[in-house]
Each structure stands twice: as structure tokens, then as C-alpha cells.
A and B are shown apart, each in its own frame.
Chain A
């Protein structure tokens, strides 16, 4: 593979959770712990997990909206971890973002022309007359009309606002777009429109996406590879089809099983996870997933599993080396009937 567009190496990010009277930090939230990721040119990496898994924090670290405690962010071969000021702004041109809520991520009092034109001014230094032409072109690209330029963001529906947000993200001609739950606030029909648009744009412009979402069906649809996060760590990463059809981590299997399938004839035995994601302030000992894991063994309570290659999958689970085997296969090799 050629140089990846994005490399994330050993990134850890904690936040102070509680301070004492003197303002000294007493406890910390471990939002992201020692994460490695890589995204190739024109590739989509899906990042999934429940609320509180650290996926959005990781997205913000990648965009340098927040600084990691440890680790490196390498964009297009350049280490951007330490960049500040003007050099950081230049690097930012290559990566843009689309957020979940198009109602709060666009200033309702701005004209669409200014929202989409702002990156053209800030990053490319275009004059107003040049900007107008580019804005019209960008709006056309996301399926909006030239006359929408002179309207305010609040006049648009959720799906149209997300198109405006995408046009803004594309304005600076980025290589990487971080999409944080870009369709989860939308109706199924609008969701399909926006997903299709993102796919078309990728094909046409050779964009790479970091696609953060909690809906595995959506992520599987758009991604080439998927990384599954649980409590700040990567539990499993593999090709999208492998994750979807042959999950190697019990957490992935449970996530898949929880997706309601739109076929009443397929009402299924479901792996119901008990409880909710534990607090990242005081994560469970050993494997972070063990209190909710149907297969938990003694070793899982004591030793944190390392990420290890297993077939085409990288997975952090003791079952693969300490678990029971049947004819040389572990329990996770048994066929998982998703649908």
C-alpha cells in the first residue's frame, strides 16, 4: 500500500474527571487508550461502538481539535501532532469534518454562500467574486441549487443541511473527511440520499473517510474496513465484510445481533448484552468487556488482552488463545447467524 492518508499511532487521550480543592486532578476519564489506525487513499474506515466508547473523541484527536496525551497523528506522511498556529491551519486544509447534528453545526444566521465560502476564504484565500463561482459549483456537487446560496441555513431541512455541511467540508479540497454520525439524525430515506452522495463524492474526488457511527448496518454499507471500539480501546478491526459476517470479538457479535432486522420472518435469538457500557473513569480490570461478555473466563478478569492478528482480523480477545477449542476451532469460529 502507498503512504496512508492518515496514520494514528498509539494515541491515548484522557480528560480530568474530578479535581480536589486545589484544582489538582484526582481522577481521569480514559477516553481513548493506545489506539492505532490507518486509512489509505480513497478508503473508508468505519469506526463503531456505543456511546461512551471514545469514537468521537478519537475523531476530534485526529482533527487536532483536542490534543492527545500520547501518540502521533500522521497526515499524508507529515506528523501533525505538534503543529500549531499557521502550520496547523495549513494541515487542516487536508482534513475536514461533517458532524451529526446539522441543526447545531451550521450557524442559522449565516447565508449558505458564507457557510460554504468560509473555507475558500480561510484556506484558499479566494476573493468574493471567485468564491461565488466555486460555491455554486460545490452546491451543485451536493445536489443543491445555485439560488440556495442566498438563503439561510435555518430555512433547510435536516437532509439539506447535511448537504450544506458536506459542501462546506469539500470546499477546501480535503483528502480526508471525518464524518461523525453524519446520518444518525436523519430519516431512513434522507439517510440513504446522504450516504449515496458521500459514496459518489468519494468515487469522483478520491476522498478518504473516517466514518464514525454506532449503526453497524450503515457502517458496513459505506466502509472498506471497520474498527470496533469499546471503552476507549480497539476490540477488533478487519475488512467490513469480515467484521459483519465473521465477527471475532464477542462484543462485535453482540452489536451485530442487536441490529433489528427488517424481516419479521427473521425474528431471531438475540445476544442481549446485560447492563450498559461501564464508566471510563474506572474501567473494569483485565478485558474491559468481561463484565458483559457471555464467554468471560478467569483470565479475562485479570489480564488485558493484546490486539493480535487472527486470520485477516486483528482482535483483542482471550478466547482465541485461552478459550475452548472444538476440532481446532474456537467458539468465535462457530458460524454466527446474523440474518
Chain B
């Protein structure tokens, strides 16, 4: 009864030797009125054993497309992967056919989406949906699968799981539905969980509960998490490392703590300055304009038209993603000279 407290600090450092997921030079195209268009272009990152990697950026930066590509969920048409490699424990996922991919999906990589009402089938009970996964991937009997489903619902903190298992999704609240979805995603104890805005539709109090639950389960199951979100607060609370995307490209990768304290890319710093409640008495500093659509990209650095620190050279050439420190890459020609404001500085 009442409340519990738990340190948000997580135990143990992630093992940095073997990446669970390696995405290399990934490009995805979608067909549009003006022909095929690159939506993400040359995206590379690793997700290491037991770590949580945050993928951040505004809407339209390509974070969700990246996540869908990893899940093999880019439908052709309208989309197609044109280049690159996605390896899970060293195995190339892009070489798999749909049948093989279906075994990977749910068993080794699972996904939790933003909208718990649309990503869950309203016509089946929560129990039916979990048992189907268990029977398909683990070959459990009907009875064993049902018992396991009740177990899983209990594990994600759903009260009275043996009754809830027969509930339809609409009978659950938003927070409970998201828990049920997490139970579904974790039913086969995947190596990698992809969470796309998992708490965006939830109240802040329920969000705190769900994040706590995810962190606990991650420790327990030893899985890695790829967290796609635009909420920098959530990233700071949960992620070990962060990849910042802008207009379909990676613009900065870093460990979480230095990224927030000393952002190196002006876009990262600009995102931080949009947050209310950071510098309490200061005005917000919105980023002017919008993310450019991929059919009318500016020349040079893609961010330069919105960048406060842009100089003439920024419009001349697309800057490469260069390593500026251990585990830190930045796509900005002024990265070394700029002192950008961070959190708590």
C-alpha cells in the first residue's frame, strides 16, 4: 500500500565487447509522388549487451523508420531498404526471408509501440494474444502457455492476473494496456527490445511506473533496449548511450551523461534548450523552422538553416560524422571550437 521508492540508478555497467545489434550504413527509401526518396541515409549504430540505447530527434527525423527496419517491418511497397546491414548477434537480418524473419521477430527482437490501443488486437483477449506468441515461438501446450501468460501478467504488475488474462484490451486502462503489451513483447525473453515512444501516451505518474518496470525487467532478463523517443527527460533517466538523428542522418552519438552535460552538436544543444523546467526563470529557446523534408534538403550541413552557430562553410559541404572522443561522434565542422550549453551548466 502507498508508495515504494527505488533508486533509478541501475546496477552494473554494460558489457562493451559484443554488440547485440549492429546497424551499419543503413538507407531506406519510400516511394512518393516525386519518385523514390531516401528517408534515412547511412545510419550506423550499435546496441551493446544489456544496455539501453536512446534514439532521439524530432518527428520526421527517421527514428521510427530506423526501428521498423530493424524489426523487418518496412513494407515493400511503399518502402525498401536500399543499402547497409543489420546484424543481430552477428547474423545478417537483411538476408533473411519473411519466414525466417518471423521467427526472429517476437523471439529474439520484440517491439513495444506508442499507442497501446492500436498495437493490440481488440478482438482477442490479452491471454489469447500472449498464448499465441508462446505457442508459436516456444511450442508450449495450450495449458502451459496460459499459465505462462498469467505469470507474465503478474510480472509486469497487473493485479489479479488470472482474471485479467481473460479481459479484452478495451477493459484495461491505458497504463495496464501498455503493461500487457510489455508482457507480450517479453514473453519469449528477447535479446533486444525495441520500444518506440512506449510512454508518450501515458500520464507522467504511470510513465514513471512503466519505465521502472522496464528497467527492472531488463536487469532481470539481461536484455538490451533500443528506446525511440522525443522525450529527453525519459532518455536521461533510462539510457546508457544516445544516438541523435536529424533529417534522416545520425548527427551525434555519445554516452548519455556527457551528451546532456556537454552537447557537441548544435542540434542536440537546441533540443535541450526547448525543454521547460530546465532553467526555471529563462525563456524557452525554440528551434526556428521545421525539419526539412527529404525532397528539399539544404546544401551542406542539413541543420545549418536552423542553426544559431552556422557559418558560411556550413552551407558548402555535408560534414562527415567524425569521432571527437572515446565513443563520441559528431557531424559538425565547428564541434571542436563550440562551447554549447548543456544541462546543469
Contacts and interface: CB of A to CB of B under 8 A. Distances in A.
Interface of A: 50-51, 157-159, 187-193, 195-196, 199, 214-218, 220-222, 244, 254-255, 257-274, 276-277, 291-296
Contacts of B58: 187-190
A254 B3 CA distance: 9
Contact of A192 (B1, B9, B209, B286): B286
B204 A220 contact: no
Given A214-B204, A268-B8, A221 B3 contact: no
Pick the 10 closest A-B CB pairs, nearest first.
Answer: A260-B233, A217-B277, A221-B276, A192-B274, A192-B286, A193-B286, A258-B208, A267-B8, A294-B3, A192-B284
A288 B272 CA distance: 37
Contacts of B325: none
21 contacts: A51-B174, A188-B58, A189-B271, A195-B284, A196-B283, A216-B277, A218-B276, A221-B284, A258-B208, A260-B234, A262-B275, A262-B343, A263-B260, A263-B343, A268-B8, A273-B208, A274-B3, A291-B1, A292-B3, A293-B2, A294-B2
A293 B58 CA distance: 36
A276 B206 contact: yes
A267 B271 CA distance: 20
A8 B258 CA distance: 48
B205 interface: yes
A196 B6 CA distance: 36
Contacts of B275: 188, 192, 217, 262
Contacts of B152: none
B274 A272 contact: no
A270 B5 contact: yes
Contacts of A158: 59
B205 A255 contact: yes
A276 B239 CA distance: 26
Nearest to A251: B205
B233 A187 contact: no
Given A262-B275, A274-B3, A267 B237 contact: yes
Contacts, number: 160
A221 B277 contact: yes
A220 B281 CA distance: 10
Given A188-B274, A261-B237, A262-B232, A296 B7 contact: no
Contacts of A274: 1-4
B217 interface: no
B233 A259 contact: yes
B212 interface: yes
A244 B276 CA distance: 13
Contacts of B276: 192, 195, 217-218, 220-222
Contacts of B8: 267-270
B102 to A, nearest CB: 33
B230 interface: yes
Interface in B257-286: 257, 260-261, 270-278, 280, 283-286
A222 B276 CA distance: 9
B161 to A, nearest CB: 15
Contacts of B283: 196, 199
Contacts of A270: 5-6, 8, 208, 212
B344 A258 contact: no
Most central of B234, B236, B256, B257 by chain A CB within 10 Å: B236
Contacts of A196: 283-284, 286
B3 A263 contact: no
A97 to B, nearest CB: 22
A176 B257 CA distance: 42
A291 B290 CA distance: 45
Nearest to B10: A267
Nearest to B256: A264
Given A193-B286, A217-B277, A262 B5 contact: no
Given A195-B276, A264-B256, A274-B1, A258 B204 contact: yes
A155 to B, nearest CB: 13
B149 to A, nearest CB: 22
A268 B211 CA distance: 13
